[in-house]
Structure 1
Amino acid sequence: MASNMKLSVAGLKFIKSFESFVPYVYDDKVPAVKGRYREYTGGPVKGTLTIGYGHTNAAKHPLKVVPGTYVTEAQAREILDVDLDECEEAVNRIVKVPMTQGQFDALVSFTFNCGEANLKKLVAPMNRGNSAATYAKFDEFIRSKGEVMRGLVRRRDGEQGLWASTPKALPEPHEVENVPEEVDAPKKPVSKRDIAAGATAGTAVVVAVKEGVDAVNTVAEPVKQAVDTVSGIASYGSVALIAVAVAAIVAGGVYLWLRNR
């Protein structure tokens, strides 16, 4: 049965401290200058167009974020209140175990910044009875479009503080820091199976080259495996593994060239 918890005053203060009030539309991945975001007036968008206290077009409040839009702080507070309603609802619905107020506040802040899809990834261990793993997993959500952002690192640290109800729960940023609304999901680690596949493909081709005339069929299949291995492991970003598979392909190509001269 879903709970019906609400964000605390401390949790709201925490979120506002990181979002900052901006009365005009800005690109949340363009660095602030002397503590102020630059108003977006057109051109390529690096992050997400944002206004007020972190409001974007993906949020619940119907205000559309388009260049030339302005809001007062009172309007921004009202918009934030509406936007946070769906975050509270998502946490109450997705988390299947009892929560402390600090845990709930941390998860609402996380959802407001990272979205519901990332929330599901974050709380999966918690729902299996491992809250400590969820606490540690906050540290995985610190990239926006592949770039580690200092603002995201500090926000995740603060959310862990909220979670544990420690003094670091309410860090006051000394300067405006970019905390993009588009936060990457954690990268999948390279598996032992992929490591073994890369090594096997490379070894088979080298052996085939040494064995000579009757090795054509032996070479062809490992080369295909190497190609498959490259496509299979490239998404994990492992330079070492990709190098093994590419070396296998090159070795096979050299052999076939010599064979057919």
Structure 2
Amino acid sequence: MTRKINADGLAHIKRWEGLRLSAYQDIAGVLTIGYGHTSAAGAPQVKAGMKITEAEAERILQSDLAKFEQRVERLVKVPLSDSQFAALVSFDYNTGALHKSTLLKKLNAGDYAAVPGELAKWVNAGGKRVQGLVNRRASEAGLWAKGEFVSSADVPAKPAAPPVLTKETVSWGAGIAATVGSTISGSGPVQWALAVIMILAFAAGAYFFLRDRLRPA
């Protein structure tokens, strides 16, 4: 079964393509409709004056994306996270050039780190640099960066950073310490008994509290 882009990737493509229910000419002068659909992607053929519904635009997008999902899955020979896969589908959907790109060659050689820089090269249309494409490539690089870094040609994969305490955790611990301190300040047997109970309760609940509040730096 062909791999599908995740919801984040689909939302990314919709956001950058935009939805147009009437045929228009894109920045390269190509008739386009829906979420960036052109005749080059297959049926339906886009004609001047053509109109579609939002439901039709969604169906066309899903049909178009299936072709590019298949292309990315076939062309890329190294493992990809969901976000990395989605970034390449977006790039190929927009350019149709993954198969002939240096990006693909470097990626298949294991150079994951080269991808953002290669994406940044695809920013021209009609022989001119287009700011919209600059922005889109940057967004695709951001989507790519959400994926887990595997390795590059000269940089080994790094283990995840150890978890660190959040400010909330530190404040909570300080509050517990202050409460215990004030309880035993009277030095009476009752105060000491209460302090022992509080310390035991703290020890019992600390694991669950910290487990939910420890996160990577």
- Is there any run of 5+ residues in structure 1 with no aligned partner, and where? 30-45, 167-261
Tell me the equivalent position of 1:14: 12
| 1:83 aligned partner, one-letter code | D
CA distance in 1, matches of 2:2, 2:51: 33
Which deviates more, 76-85 or 132-141?
132-141
Q: Is the 8 A contact 2:25 2:31 kept in 1?
A: yes
Q: Percent identity?
A: 41
Shift of 1:109: 0.2
Question: Given the alignment of the two structures, is residue 53 of structure 1 paired with residue 35 of structure 2, yes or no?
Answer: yes
Count residues in correspondence: 147
**CA distance in structure 1 between the aligned counterparts of 2:81 and 2:73, rounded to whole angstroms:** 12
Match of 1:155 among 136, 145, 149: 136
The 5-angstrom pairing of residues 185-196 of structure 1 reads none
Question: Quick check: 2:91–2:98 contact (8 Å CA) kept in 1?
Answer: no
Residue of structure 2 aligned with 1:5, choices 3, 25, 41: 3
Compute the RMSD of aligned alpha carbons: 1.6
Residue by residue over 1:34-89, the C-alpha shift from the partner in whole angstroms, topping out at 9 and shown as x without a partner, is xxxxxxxxxxxx521100110000113x1110112100111000000000001000
- Measured in 2, the distance between the counterparts of 1:165 and 1:47 equals 33
Aligned in 2, Cα 1:107/1:117: closer, same or farther, shift over 3 Å? Answer: closer
Give the AA of the match of 1:50. T
C-alpha contact 1:55 1:80 (8 A) present in aligned 2: yes
Amino acid at match of 2:4: K
Hey, which of these two has a bigger chunk of strand by percent?
2
Give unpaired runs (5+ residues) of structure 2: 148-217
Q: What is the TM-score with the length of structure 2 in the denominator?
A: 0.64
Question: What's 2:103 paired with?
Answer: 122
User: Relative to 1, partners in 2 of residues 1:119 and 1:111: Cα closer, same or farther, differing over 3 Å?
Assistant: farther
Within 2, Cα distance between the matches of 1:116 and 1:90? 10
Corresponding residue of 2:176: none
Amino acid across the alignment from 2:64: D
Which residue of 11, 35, 50 maps to 1:69? 50
TM-score (normalizing by structure 1): 0.54
Counterpart position of 2:126: 145
1:8 CA drift (Å) = 0.4
Instruction: Specify whether residues 119 and 103 from structure 1 end up closer, same or farther in structure 2 by C-alpha distance, changes over 3 A only.
Output: farther
Contact 2:123-2:137 at 8 Å conserved across structures: yes
Larger radius of gyration: 2
Q: Which residue identity lines up with residue 112 of structure 1 in the other structure?
A: Y
